[in-house]
Amino acid sequence: MKKNILAVAMMGFGLMTAMPASAAEADRRQVSQQARIVDGVKSGELTGREALRLERKHREIQRDIRQARRDDGHLDAQERAQINREQNQLSRRIARQKHDGQTR
């Protein structure tokens, strides 16, 4: 019994690593990037202006995800790749703005 649970857990893990850009991944990254922006403001690493700009980009991605789902209810491989690219870009921007030394 224990073995079965482990096998199922490992299968789930394999699935997750095999599909790094799944539709759920796009949503999960949105949540985590939002949290990174909020954290940056709290820690003072992001100025209000930096946060606003990053938030704007974050909303754009959110809109793109919604639009990509509207046609067929899903994110297909191409749509996921596009969203993933945008999220990578935003992730780099968040990192850069957090470490540019501007805190106010």
Binding stretches for Ca ion (CB under 5 A)? 68, 71-72, 97, 100, 102
CB of 14 to Ca ion, least distance (A): 25
Nearer to Ca ion, 3 or 70 (CB): 70
Q: Which residue has the tokens 């470490």?
A: 99
Nearer to Ca ion, 10 or 96 (CB): 96
Measure Cα distances from 8 to 3, 13, 23, 25 in Å. Answer: 9, 9, 21, 20
CB of 32 to Ca ion, least distance (A): 19
* Interaxial angle between packed helices 77-98 and 48-70, expressed in degrees from 0 to 180 and rounded to the nearest 10: 180
